[in-house]
Chain A
Amino acid sequence: MNIIYLINSKEYNYHKSLATDFSEVTGGSIIDMGDGTALGVRYNEIADAAPDVIITFDLAGHALRTGNDTLSLNNIYARYAHILFHKPDHYGRSLEARQNLSMFTYIPNGNDEETVKCRYTEIPNIKGFGPFSYKPANDKERDDNTESIRRWWDDFRKEAMI
């Protein structure tokens, strides 16, 4: 299975290490949206890779927009998991963009999923994720994270029918 992680290490310094932790469970390659590459070039690179699954951290792929300001990723046939490590309010208007039916947005546990669904009506699939520490302080937290990633991956594969 061709899996691509989209991260932005310039904006979120924990993305690289988390992507490594996730990909140890799921496999896949990592693309850093914060490395200065032009967005158009990035989009073509992702589309040309024809991924089966695209996993983004903190909406790293939402910067890719069409001329009409819709999400460019909507146009790439794949299954998507958008994993958010912060409360939805943190992302401002980015979460208001319409996501297509193949996108699953995971919000940190502790947020009321129903309230988030009512607030962000253009997101078709919202689910909880965690418990998770995006900056694990010790081995215990790291182990717990791995367990959470495994549970999430099982759930996502089931939902996404892959």
Chain B
Amino acid sequence: MKLLIFEWAAGTFTYNDITQWFLKKGITYRTVSYQFEDKNEDEFFENRFMKVLGDDDYDAVFSVNYFPLVAVCCNRCNIRYISWSYDNPLDVADIEKTLGLECNHVFLFDRIQTEGYKKQGFTNVHHMPLAVNCERLESVKLTKQEQALYTSDVSFVGKMYDSMFPQYRELMDDHCKGYIDALVAAQSKVFGYWFAEEMLTDDLMKRINDHFKVLKPGTEFVLPREALAYALACQITKTDRLILLNLLAKRMKVNVYSWEKCELLQNVNFMGSCDYYGQMTKVFKASSINLNITLKISQSGIPLRVMDILGSGGFLLSNYQPEIAENFINGEDVVMYESIEDAYEKAIYYIRHDDLRRQIAESGHNRTKELFSYDGQLGKIFEISGIL
């Protein structure tokens, strides 16, 4: 079998583990990459990519995350296009315009997101949880210096999210501001069910957009529901992360790994960024508690960060996510919290119980190895796509 892999120019976290599986299976591949300015319209890209497709007899095109113009080219050449996403939302405007193309076999890690597309009639969208290369992560060892550098009570790897919410809110009338504030307050208290988007009704969106026009006559800007929902999710997630990390930092050593320093974080050790294939595993191995605080808009799926922590053998303290609950036993394989207060109390409890924490981490690691290997997940993907 011969594959053409399309990769986002900035690179993708799971590329090396996926291509390692291809090599193991004797699947040959060529990789091409590109940096899009507009994922939906790029004549130059179409031209070049069509040439690449014509260079060889490929059985399929594969990509991590979904790219509409790759789908358009594949459809034109009658070549299967398989994509497996670790992003949620997919960050593709007007995705409905290409998702239904016959060439597409789209795999998403979030079941609720998948069901949403299926309800819209996209039967070629499938649910596929992410995977982790446990063997690779098991082989990562820490030197004494690294152990000293990365050891902490709590570690968090991730960003604080810059949300457009304050800017959008500023442009709303008082009624909409009140409604949105109440919505944010309510959604902040609920873990495991994202209802905010449903509450952004057509009437509300019309009122918000009408008010924009009053403030800026002649504006062509229209705020889409999805953009406001994403901004709300970022805002709530950012607040959750800030509150929890600041609370924990008052009681224990908290290391935060992120590209950008957030001035609102107090008493935490800002460690800068950590690279995916090198340092991140070491961070998870050396930390007593690894925090996962999922972006609110991701409704049910198990994020890649959770896979990375469990695959590394780290102890996971995560917000409640339905698919984590379905696949792991809370308190035995992982620990989930249902509010910020709950997260705080559980962190205090587990930091005092070393043996229990190690036992849970080991059990979670074994379960992850059993359920979420690349061999298993990619095997299913290729079988569903009809090429294995």
A-B contact count (CB 8 A): 50
**Complex: chain A residue closest to B43, CB-CB:** A161
In the complex, what residues of B have CB within 8 A of residue A122's CB?
31
Main secondary structure on B side of the interface with A? mixed
**Smallest CB separation, B275 vs chain A (Å):** 5
Which size bracket describes the interface of B in this complex? 20 to 34
Q: How far is the CA of A76 from the CA of B277 in the complex (A)?
A: 23
In the complex, what residues of A have CB within 8 A of residue B221's CB?
none
B48 adjacent to A101 (CB under 8 Å)? yes
Contact flag A75-B35 (CB < 8 Å), given A68-B277, A124-B52:
yes
Q: How far is the CA of A96 from the CA of B384 in the complex (A)?
A: 35
Q: How far is the CA of A125 from the CA of B43 in the complex (A)?
A: 17
**Complex: chain A residue closest to B7, CB-CB:** A98
Q: A110 at the A/B interface (Cβ < 8 Å)?
A: no
In the complex, what residues of A have CB within 8 A of residue B32's CB?
100-101, 124
8 Å CB contact of B33 from A79, A100, A121, A160 = A100
8 Å CB contact of A101 from B33, B43, B275 = B33
Residues B1-36 near A (CB distance < 8 A): 9-11, 30-36
Q: B47 at the A/B interface (Cβ < 8 Å)?
A: yes
A68 adjacent to B47 (CB under 8 Å)? no
**Complex: chain A residue closest to B35, CB-CB:** A77
In the complex, what residues of A have CB within 8 A of residue B156's CB?
none
In the complex, what residues of B have CB within 8 A of residue A79's CB?
44
Q: How far is the CA of A121 from the CA of B48 in the complex (A)?
A: 16
**Smallest CB separation, B3 vs chain A (Å):** 14
Q: A74 at the A/B interface (Cβ < 8 Å)?
A: yes
* Interface core residue of B35, B37, B273 (most chain A CB under 10 Å): B35
Instruction: State the B residues within 8 Å of A (CB).
Output: 9-11, 30-37, 43-45, 47-49, 52, 273, 275-277
